[in-house]
Amino acid sequence: MPDSPPRTIPEAVGPISDGLSEKAGKSSPPKVAAASLIGTTIEYYDFAVYGTASALVLGPAFFPSGNATVSSLAAFLTFTAAFLSRPLGVVLFGTIGDRLGRRRALVASLMLMGVATAGVGLLPTYESAGLLAPVLLVTLRLLQGVSMGGEWGGAVLLAAEHAPPGRRALYAAVPNVGPSLGFLLSSAVILPTLHYAGRDGFAEGAWRIPFLLSTVLVVIGLWVRSTVSESPLFTAQQRTRAPASRFPLGTLVTRHPRRLLLGIGAAIGGSAVYYLTIVYSLSYGPKELGIPQNTMLTAASIGAGAGILLTLPVARLADRIGRRPVMLTGAAGSVLWAVPMYASLSTRDGVVITGAYTVGLLLLALMFSPAAAFLAELFPGPLRYSGASTTFILANTLGGGLAPLTATWLHSHWDSPLVLGFYTGALCLVSLLCLLALPETRDVDFDDFDA
């Protein structure tokens, strides 16, 4: 039946998955969680590097214009292009993940991201290659988006489906540390590069360094992922049932449309908070308000670090009391805090901005940390990769990918950072309402193979 509620079992009955995993000789849950984390960290490192480079140099380098706003807008358009290609990645890697296995999909997506990101670091600029330069940049950004479309869902599932009983949210949340960790890693590379090369040196060619360094991370990530086992639940599904649908996404849309739409809405607010804070404001603060670039990077980095520290304790709490209470608290808090958070930019005070961003990103952790398990638990085993990926990626595309463009347009009409708060708060309200309409999923049986 379409949108029928998943079967639930008491948590004490969870050892089914452990028995299967022992027979399959699975990797230890901590090792699998680490393998999942390294992939999401690399993926988001690449996105954070591109977002920061867009704010600093990519507009003039690839889209020269006499108007700085036009150049920045063009650079952010390529940022958005990667989001628009993510659904293709969901279809491609979701099909691989649901039919052939989580690990195969994850290895392929990480290889694609590595090739695309290194390619950006090697591109000629508009000055030397003319129109070919922006065409190549957009092409590589589209490939990065396809890769990202398959990464998150697979990383979360690989960790969650290896998790011991009663700790599914905890293990599923480990890959969710990746976005903030990737941003911190990108800042740890970009800030010293800016310091030693200077703003002019960074614009002239040093911006390539963070992109090229990602190849080292990709090699490490591929090595780690090649050493972990396939999900024991996927292996059991393959042994006991017919293969998954040839087109899992089509089955998902046909049988579970309500959960799909509500799942997207539940994650859309957190996506807006993350990308407006971590990407857009790094450009908006310096260009529109005269806030030093280092001040913005430091504020966002401290807030992201605080969010990392809270992610796993919040996930453990979600294992104990349920996903919805924690996520609803984060969504409600974000609705109320969105305007004060971005209003802090008007003070141009680094301490005030850092404090406001830290509170905002801690509230984001309440929404984001349990979401990994929650979105996966909304869908049955044969559609779980496609379901988790589709909800999260489309929420990221609508709430995050379009956020810099929307914010740029809003700022052109209303010259105040408050408009960012109202926009973000509205999307967080959508998440709050969708969460209220969805069921609690803590006791969902992951061994349910019925699609």
Q: Where are the domains of the chain?
A: 26-236, 244-446
Distance, in Å, from the CA atom of 250 to the CA atom of 99, rounded to the nearest integer, reads: 14
Which residue(s) pair with 8 in the sheet?
444
pTM over 0.85: no
Specify the CATH number of the domain 26-236. Answer: 1.20.1250.20
Q: What pLDDT was estimated at residue 395? A: 92
Buried b (16+ CB within 10 A) or exposed e, 195-217: eebeeeebbeebbbbbbebbeeb
Burial class (CB in 10 A: 0-12, 13-18, 19+), 171: buried
Distance, in Å, from the CA atom of 388 to the CA atom of 439, rounded to the nearest integer, reads: 16
Distance, in Å, from the CA atom of 257 to the CA atom of 250, rounded to the nearest integer, reads: 10
Distance, in Å, from the CA atom of 118 to the CA atom of 10, rounded to the nearest integer, reads: 47
CA within 13 Å, CB half, 322: 11
User: Could you identify the residue written with the tokens 């590589």?
Assistant: 140
Each of the 451 residues of the chain gets a pLDDT tens digit; together they read 455 544 443 333 333 333 333 334 567 888 888 888 888 888 788 877 887 777 677 777 787 766 566 666 676 677 677 778 888 888 888 888 888 888 888 888 888 988 888 898 999 988 888 889 888 988 998 998 898 888 888 888 888 888 888 999 999 999 888 888 888 898 889 888 888 888 788 888 888 999 898 888 888 888 888 788 777 777 777 666 655 567 777 888 888 999 999 999 999 999 999 888 887 888 788 888 889 888 998 899 899 899 899 999 999 999 999 999 999 999 999 999 999 999 999 999 999 999 999 999 999 999 999 999 999 999 987 888 888 889 998 998 888 877 777 887 887 778 788 888 999 999 999 999 999 999 999 988 776 545 5
Find all residues with CB under 8 Å of 5, minimum gap 6, and list them.
Answer: 439
- What are 294's two structure tokens? 């280092």
Neighbour tally for 174: CB within 10 Å: 27
- What are 273's two structure tokens? 């908070």
Phi, psi angles (nearest 5°) of residue 64: -65, 140
Domains 26-236 and 244-446 share a fold: yes
CA within 13 Å, CB half, 371: 38
Q: Name the nearest CA neighbour of 84 among 448, 396, 321.
A: 396
Q: What pLDDT was estimated at residue 449? A: 47
Nearest-5° angle of CA 302, CA 289, CA 414? 110
CATH superfamily of 244-446: MFS general substrate transporter like domains (1.20.1250.20)
Q: What pLDDT was estimated at residue 451? A: 53
